[in-house]
Every structure is written in C-alpha cells, then in structure tokens.
Amino acid sequence: MTQSIYSHTYDNGLVLAAEQMKSLESAAFTFLVPVGSSVDPADRAGLSSFTGELALRGCGTRDSRQFVEDLENLGVERGEAVSVSHTSFSGATLSANLPPALSIYADLLRRPRFPADQLEAARLVVLQELLAIEDEPAQKLMIELRKHQYPDPWGRSSQGEEATLRQIGLDEIKQHHQGQYRPNGTILGVAGNFEWPQLRDLVGRLFEDWQPREVPDPATGAAPDKHAHLEHESNQTHIGVAYEGLPYRHPDYFQAWGAVGVLSGGMSSRLFTEVREKRGLCYSVFATMHTLRDRASVLCYAGTSAERAQETLDVTLAELGRIAEGIRPDELARLKARIKSGLIMQQESSIARSGSIARDWYHLGRTRTLDELGQIIDGLTCESINAYLAAHPPGDFTVVTLGPKPLEVHLGVS
C-alpha cells in the first residue's frame, strides 16, 4: 500500500495532517477541537458535551433535519465524542464526497445555529447519557477511578452532573462556543484517497478566515484521595486500580505500553490467566494505558462476586507488582503478533487512521507512519521492557471499589 503523509499549519493555527491511501475508495476525517470537560466551569459540569450535542442540530443554512439529510445523502458515517481535552467530530465517506462533507463540518464548527426549540431535546439526550451510567456499574467505577487518579480537572467525566445539566441555558452554550471553539489548537486529521494540493486548498478556503482566540490553560487542583468506595447494593463488586504511567510523547512510552500489553491483552495475558483462569475469581479483568498530553496512568478493572472481592483485589495487586520482575520472550512474541495484526487492520480503515493521525499530532506535533510504528514494535525486547519495569515498578496504587462493602488494600499479598 502506497502511503504519503502531509501536514500544513494555517496562519490562524489550524493544523491539517493527512495520509494519502491511494488503494482505498474512501476518505475519512477527524476534527479534534480543544474543548473538553477540563474547560467546563466548576459549576457547569457537562457544558462542553451539551454544547457539542446542540451544535449537531443545525448549522449554516441547514436546520437540524437538513443537516442530517445532507450528510446521509453523502453517505457520511459520523461520530462525535467529548473527552477531557477535546470535542471530536469524525466521518467517513467516498473520497469524491469528502469536499462537501468538510464544507458541512466547517459550518458545524464555525456557524452552529443552536436552535432554541431544540434545547430541551438536546438536554434530554445528555441527561439520558449521564443517567445510563447508573445502569453500567463498571463504567461508573472507571469514571470514579479517573477522578481519584488525576487532579481536577484532568479526571473529570465528560458527561457532567445532573444538577448542572438541568441548569445550563442557551446563552451559556452560545458563550461557551464563542469563547472556546477556535482554530488555534484544532487539528484536522484526514486519511484515504485524496489529492494533497486540492485538500490543503479546500481546508484553507473553509477555515483560513476563522479568527484565533487565546484561551488560558485550566488550573490544576490538589491531588485527590487515593482510595474510595461507592456503596452499591449488589451481589457483585467492581474493583478499579490505577497507577502512574507515561504519556504518549515520552520516549519510553512503548516500553511501558509493552508491559501493560503483557498484563492485559488476550486470553494468555497475565491478569486473565492468573486472576480469572487459574483462580476463577472474576468474570472480567483488564488493564489499559490511559494517556493525556502531560500525564498518564495504567487503569485496571476487575468485576467479581461480593464474596470473592477481597481476594480478587489482593491477587490483582500482587500480579501488578509481580510484573516488575520482568516479562518472558513468549509473552513478548504474542504481544507483537497481536499488535501487528491491529496495525494491518488500521491500514484498511481510513476512519481509524484519521483519528490516529489527529491524536499523534496533538501528542507529538507530527504524525507517525504505520511503518514507523511497526519498527518501534519490532524494536521492543524483553531486556528493554524489563529495564523499564525495574526502574518504574507499579506502585502507589489508587484503588476505588463499587459494591456492598469496602475492601482493604493489602500490598504484597498473593
């Protein structure tokens, strides 16, 4: 597959990063707009999510219905999300339809209509998304885990809080958009079949007169409590464990990432084998890297019965500690095979690649090629990962539980 990576930074600060994938008939795009839950006012948690939802209800000359119909007529498969740092809008379509699709999203970002008659419908959507978490205790636990692992505002949930979502008014949404949506800090990632000069010029016509704004970085609060329990009447207990990791931009990120891949990833991983298979302690267990721009964590989860919850926590903590003793060649070989399969699949997906391109630029200020990623994975060795683990053993754990009773944190128990 022939691939070429391009980038251009416009005078207003907007970044376009793109990878040409000539063998595809599709093209995909991902906008990362620097508006996430971290910039929500303390008394308006969820404002960024509410703003993003209402923005989808008409823009430019299109009302809500016309916006949806125009995208459907272009065959755009779209997605939206709000994270701590960004509001993202993404879409994939036939390559010939990329220009009109980008034109619609230029209106979405720059000229949302924010119709008053759609305010309560949008409010209902964001409230339903928030309230749905009450029916997903595992998700509720992991949201709480991030709150206790990161200082405010970096551990905030994008869903917000019910009381504030019910209070947010239309003027606040308009002011939030006017003050926070801006080209400087916005990244557009594109992947698929396109011609670079035409794409660069098109994005310039759509966005070059978008005026930049200076927005201060949010202040970081005090460190939160490391242990917490959420009372929940159930026969199950949900366990979350977190410890410090390395952000994606760190030179040793992939060493840390390789260690987590051995812990969790497939049915031969250590957590799955030791906690679930050998001891039958839980029905679900995993660990994952979670990275922000300047900080990161390893987030772990185990779901189990209330009766076996204490033992599950003890064994999970012991296994996390044991990884510092080092990984084996057979574990590394399985990890590399799994990751390379994922890279191959990404080569066949323009939408996945457009998101990776945008995120790479946010973290690194450049885009890694898939070949470069493959070379990084090939370069991982047991010696390099074990050296990292010896210098950075997992520890100083944050532990959050959700269930009928709190658990005790015992370190070094197997």
In tens, the pLDDT along 36-45 reads: 999 999 999 9
Q: What is residue 348's predicted lDDT score, i.e. its pLDDT? A: 65
Give me the helices (H) in 18-113, please. 47-55, 64-73, 98-110
If we measure between CA atoms, which residue out of 306, 271, 308, 304 comes closest to residue 286? 271
List phi, psi (to 5°) of 189. -100, 130
Look at strands 62-63 and 236-244 and give their pairing. unpaired
The stretches in the chain having pLDDT less than 50 are 1-2, 412-414
Q: What is residue 345's predicted lDDT score, i.e. its pLDDT? A: 65
- pTM of the predicted structure, to 2 decimals: 0.94
Q: What is residue 129's predicted lDDT score, i.e. its pLDDT? A: 96
Burial class (CB in 10 A: 0-12, 13-18, 19+), 54: buried
| Three-class secondary structure of residue 164 per DSSP | helix
Amino acid in position 163 = A
CA distance linking residue 290 with residue 299, whole number of Å: 7
Tell me the torsion sign for CA atoms 239, 242, 247, 248.
negative
Q: Give all domains of the chain, ordered by start, each with its CATH number.
A: 3-207 (3.30.830.10), 227-403 (3.30.830.10)
Q: What is residue 2's predicted lDDT score, i.e. its pLDDT? A: 45
Q: What is residue 214's predicted lDDT score, i.e. its pLDDT? A: 94
